[in-house]
Structure 1
Amino acid sequence: MKITIMDTTLRDGEQTSGVSFSEAEKLNIARLLLEELKVDRIEIASARVSEGEYKAAKKILDWSHQHAYQDRVEILGFVDGKTSLEWIQKAGGKVINLLCKGSLKHCTQQLRKQPEEHLADIREVVKYAEEMGIGVNVYLEDWSNGMRDSQEYVFQMIRGLQAEKIGRFMLPDTLGILNHDETYEYCKKMKDGFPDLKFDFHAHNDYDLATANVYSAIKAGISGIHTTLNGLGERAGNVPLSSVIGIVKDHFHHELSINEQKLYAVSKIVESFSGVRIPANKPLIGEFVFTQTSGIHADGDNKDNLYYNDLMPERFGRKREYALGKMSGKANIKKNLEELGIELDAEEMKKVTSRVIELGDKKEMVTQDDLPYIISDVLKNDTIEQKIKIKNYALQVAEGLRSVATLSIEIDGKSYEETASGDGQYDAFMNALWKIYDSLEKPYPKLTDYAVSIPPGGRTDALVETVITWKIGYREFKTRGLDSDQTVAAIKATIKMLNMIED
């Protein structure tokens, strides 16, 4: 069976509190979804919401027409005669996802109409859409409550619309109330009762059951699933595309059009655009989900990959890592040293392992890039020389003016000085630093992520940890700095990075 994905990151996902994508961001996400990830359909907007929503929708639709994607781009519309249809047509849309009422309560209490009246209004919109050359799918809003409390109403709606020109009937668990048993029962009733119709299932995650409910919907025979990237969505969000991939491919072995290799990269871009961080333990796309922490697991991986499963990181453009900390054993450290091309004898390995465990007990973060420094410290040698040192720097900030930094740095014993402005003190510092590097024609990495951790409690003198992610060539690595001043912590992390790439 082929499972089709309709991704609604740009419509339902943007209903996440605090998330609002710009026109350019929306266009880029649409392109990434259709061209990189290869999803089957995308829902990009709600009709009549705002002028900004219209402009963004038109931009995406103009692009979709140029690339023959127009039938795969959908817009949520309302049972309002021609009003939503005209909004969609003016934007260049070819598909409306018509929001109808899927429970008797919504029909009689929100619309103040009887089912026959609502059906007549829906048929009118479907007729107008056909005249305008716009395809129609139908959302049965609050369908899950409808199946719990008013099943005859739901069946009345389907019977009343099954002869109309409707592509798909979409079954949303609007309030995220269902469990997996109910989902299977209700979806099976839809499939058994109306075997010739196409159904989609739309899961919300209020009880943390969205992924389980998608599993049950597919088991019941539903062939269309709605997702969002990173699980964005109102309240607890929608089912994440990443979770659906694993279910469809590894549990059902159904066909899916998604390009798994692009999943992580696209998810990180949406993380940046939305400002909503991906939890580190989020399946497939979280930072730590392909990281083995226990030493016994690393040992097992060395002995015929005993702790591997079907979710191989390479499928998703990632690689397996081995954490360093108090749970580390020699196997973890050996795996990391192999990545760095470093070999230690048994006694040296014992000393380094002891130090890593000691640091982990103190809750200090240890990364693969810290290992050369730990080795240098533990074995009392000079394998890592501090070739780059900050001699002095001055940072200036003033209301209404760009920040200014003056930097004096020593490289291989020779001093260099530059001054630069920037959007903030750290940006000014980096601009001065890169001016020096540019003058020396020295390569330097790109900053790809910047995270600040401040302990709770409101103390202004508390230590701040700044963790910066850098990318040089195809390699990505992190450095951290610790100080009571955030900018100083960032500068410490930067100097550590400079010595790493110098070494």
Structure 2
Amino acid sequence: MVSRKIEIMDTTLRDGEQTSGVSFSVSEKLTIAKLLLEELKVDRLEIASARVSEGELQAVKKITSWAKEHHFLENIEVLTFVDGGKSINWMLESGAKVQNLLTKGSLNHLTHQLKKTPEQHFKDIESTIELATKKDIKTNVYLEDWSNGMRNSKEYVLAYLDFLTNQKIERVLLPDTLGVLTPDETYKYVTALRERYTKLHFDFHGHNDYDLGVANVMEAVKAGVNGLHLTINGMGERAGNAPMASVIAVINDFLDNCEVNVNEKALNKVSKLVETFSGFRIPVNKPVVGANVFTQTAGIHADGDNKNNLYFNDLMPERFGRKRKYALGKTSGKANIQKNLQDLGLSLNDEELKKVTQRIIELGDKKEIVSQEDLPYIISDVLDSDTIEKRVVVENYVLGHAKGMKPSTTLQLKVEGILYEAHAQGDGQFDAFMNALKKLYKIHSKRELPKLIDYAVRIPPGSHSDALCETIITWQREEKEFITHGLDSDQTVSAIKATEKMLNII
């Protein structure tokens, strides 16, 4: 079967910018436009609405200037209005050559918003198209609220399309403006138009109010649409538009007789850039581009992947410039840890692996995810702890820190089964802990505590504020130096753990 080419029109810079709280700068719009056309390789870009603002005009000028130089000018589109030629004049000033003319696709909108008859509306549209043609501007036509038009005033929609067949237009754009269509309706309505108007080029523009955007796009393609309107990360008004990444994956994997130009490998890169510029955060579970979607958490899944890729599907992360990860935490198990060890080029024997697994489970109870970068620190801490006989235990402590008051610590220390307690203040929480410890040793032991001569804290490169901390303390006793390590998600606690190791060494 011969493949059918589906045109992809990205409207992130127009409809996507209608996301509440989002506004791209001129330079951001230009950067995104370049990336969408050159790297993602979408067929067309809808970049702005005419007559919105001076900033919007400057952005369109910048983009059209660049597009003309790089032979993309015919791929740049602007939303325009039936306004007696004002939008056309705006386009001429901006340098854009393709208008997406917003018109009424339902009798309800026409009657109550424009308060005109169909004949009056068609006459205004015809005048606008004629003026655009004279000015060498190509026209695509939006049928706003088309989905409700098909539901409630189908005769009007058909009369309008009959009229458009005699106009000099390139494409008819079919928006589900309010995101109300079901997949069955989408297929039925598009099929009806496809069979009646065999020569018209139809685009489908889906909104996601019921989370049916991708499903509706899929049915529109099956019914024969020629093009789709999508946005990066599903940005758009209200619940947003059909998301680019999900739709491209669906077309490539489930619609065998269709093809798109979009470069899958660039999807994640573009997604992250748009996230940064827009401030519109990608949910971690968003298909294809979410942070968690290629991360296995359950140990049984990692085990299955080891045995025969049992938990893989066709959505391989490498398709999108990403990599599969295996989360470390209380549900991960040995298989997840082995996967991460392989990535780091590390190996442990069965006993060591068992101990490291137990430590990660303990940490996972306090910290949702342990990163791969944390793993060497955990291994070091576990193996280091195994060499020390534990005769001294920091049983309990209370750390207090309040503004305007000195930090304080109440400490319970168990030495060979006997519990001791002390309270002290200090210049910081760890200093208060050490002062309490010195009190106990002064009262109950003839030994002197070693001198702390160096204290260093580090977290894995690229980590965030919830990272595991490794505290490395250098002690001096009788002219000899030795080092202990502590590991925890809390910096003071990691220092206390390093100190507990020191107490057992001495």
Partner-residue secondary structure (3-state), 1:222: coil
Summarize the alignment of residues 470-489 of structure 1 with structure 2, pairs less than 5 Å apart: none
SS of the equivalent of 2:229 reads strand
Counterpart check, 1:380 vs 2:384 = yes
Please say if 1:292 is aligned against 2:265: no
Q: Does 1:117 align with 2:120?
A: yes
**Counterpart residue number, 1:423:** none
Decide which of 131, 134, 147 is 1:128's aligned counterpart.
131
In structure 2, the partner of 1:137 is: 140
Q: Distance in 2 between matches of 1:363 and 1:195?
A: 59
Which whole-Å CA distance do the structure 1 matches of 2:277 and 2:490 have between them? 27
Identify the residue that residue 190 of structure 1 maps to in structure 2: 193
Q: TM-score, normalised by structure 2?
A: 0.76
- Equivalent of 2:70, from 46, 67, 74? 67
- Structure 1 Cα separation of the partners of residues 181 and 344 of structure 2: 49
Q: How high is the TM-score relative to the length of structure 1?
A: 0.77
Q: Report SS of the residue matched to 1:370.
A: helix
Contact 2:327 2:369 in 1 (8 A): no
How far does the alpha carbon of each residue in 1:162-184 deviate from its partner, in whole angstroms, 9 at most, with x for none?
11111110000001111111111
Q: Measure, in 2, the Cα distance between the counterparts of 1:12 and 1:332.
A: 41
Closer, same or farther in 2 for the Cα pair 1:24/1:85, shift >3 Å? same
State the shift of 1:360 in Å. Answer: 1.9
Aligned-partner Cα distance in 2 for 1:41–1:414: 61
2: CA distance, partners of 1:20 / 1:467: 37
Alignment correspondent of 1:161: 164
| Map 1:135-284 → 2, pairs under 5 A | 135-253=138-256, 254-284=258-288
1:189/1:273 CA distance change after superposition, 3 Å: same
In the alignment, which residue of structure 2 is the partner of 1:346? 350
**Mapped contact 1:376–1:382 kept (Cα < 8 A):** no
Assess if the C-alpha contact under 8 Å between 1:3 and 1:225 holds in 2. yes
2:177–2:207 Cα contact (<8 Å) kept: yes
Equivalent residue, structure 2, for 1:307: 311
Which deviations, in whole Å up to 9, do the C-alpha atoms of 1:450-500 show, x marking residues without a partner? 977xxxxxxxxxxxx4899xxxxxxxxxxx9768xxxx9xxx9xxxxxxxx
Whether the 8 Å CA contact 1:3–1:248 is kept in 2: the answer is no
In the superposition, relative to structure 1, how do residues 466 and 171 fare at CA in structure 2: closer, same or farther (>3 Å)? farther
SS of 1:380's equivalent in the other structure is helix
* 1:136-155 CA-partner distances (Å, limit 9, x unpaired): 00000000111111011110
> Contact 1:7/1:226 (CA < 8 Å) preserved in 2?
yes
Q: Is the 8 A contact 2:333 2:357 kept in 1?
A: yes
CA distance in 2, matches of 1:119, 1:482: 69
The aligned residue for residue 395 of structure 2 is none
Following superposition of structure 1 onto structure 2, how do residues 429-440 of structure 1 map, counting pairs within 5 Å?
Answer: none
Amino acid at match of 1:14: E
1:358 Cα deviation after fit: 2.1
Secondary structure at the residue paired with 2:300? helix
CA distance in 2, matches of 1:340, 1:369: 9
3-state SS, counterpart of residue 284 of structure 2: coil
After superposition, the C-alpha distances for 1:104-124 in whole angstroms (9 at most, x for unaligned) are 011111001000110111011
Which among 12, 17, 27 is matched to residue 14 of structure 1? 17
- Deviation string 1:185-234 (CA, Å, 9 cap, x unpaired) is 11111111111111000011111110111111111111201000011101
Letter paired with 1:336: N
Give % identity.
Answer: 60
Please state how far the C-alpha of 1:161 moved relative to its aligned partner: 1.0
Unaligned runs of 5+ in 1: 384-412, 416-443, 453-464, 469-479, 493-503
Determine the structure 2 residue equivalent to 1:318.
322
Distance, in Å, in 1 between the alignment partners of 2:179 and 2:50 is 24
1:9 counterpart letter in structure 2: T
CA spacing shift, 1:186–1:336, aligned 2, 3 Å = same
Match of 1:46 among 39, 44, 49: 49
One-letter amino acid of the counterpart of residue 264, structure 2: E
CA distance in 2, matches of 1:269, 1:289: 18
The question of 1:332 aligning with 2:336 is answered yes
Q: How many Å apart are 1:57 and its aligned residue?
A: 0.7
Query: Equivalents in 1 of 2:299, 2:386: separation in Å?
Result: 29
* 1:15-62 residue CA offsets vs partner (Å, 9 max, x unmatched): 001100000000000000000100000000000111111011111011
| Aligned-CA RMSD value | 2.5
Q: How far apart are the structure 2 equivalents of 1:364 and 1:68?
A: 50
**1:148 partner SS:** helix
User: What residue is the counterpart of 2:39 in the other structure?
Assistant: 36
Amino acid at match of 1:261: K
CA contact (8 A) 2:207 2:239 kept: yes
The 1-side partners of 2:489 and 2:229 are apart by: 42
Structure 1 Cα separation of the partners of residues 316 and 368 of structure 2:
29
Instruction: Describe how 1:424-463 pairs up with structure 2 within 5 A.
Output: none
- Read off the aligned partner of 1:316 and give its amino acid letter: F
Tell me, in whole angstroms, the C-alpha distance in 1 between the residues paired with 2:66 and 2:252. 31
- 1:362-401, aligned counterparts within 5 Å? 362-380=366-384
* Structure 2 alignment gaps of length 5 or more: 388-452, 470-487, 496-506
The alignment partner of 1:309 has SS state of coil
| Contact in 1 for aligned 2:367/2:489 (Cα 8 Å) | no
Q: Which amino acid aligns with 1:110?
A: Q
Which whole-Å CA distance do the structure 2 matches of 1:61 and 1:139 have between them?
22
- Does 1:107 pair with 2:110? yes
Residue 81 (structure 1) shift: 2.1
Range moving further from structure 2, 370-379 or 53-62: 370-379
Aligned length: 404
Report the alpha carbon displacement of residue 362 of structure 1 after superposing the two structures with TM.
Answer: 2.9
Letter in 2 for 1:304: N
Looking at structure 2, the residues matched to 83 and 467 of structure 1 have their Cα atoms a distance apart, in angstroms, of: 60
- Cα distance change on mapping 1:337 and 1:451 into 2, 3 Å: closer
- Counterparts of 2:27 and 2:215, CA distance in 1: 34
Task: Give the C-alpha shift of residue 266 in structure 1.
Answer: 1.1
Counterparts of 2:490 and 2:70, CA distance in 1? 49
How far does residue 300 in structure 1 lie from its aligned partner after superposition? 1.2
Question: AA paired with 1:263?
Answer: L
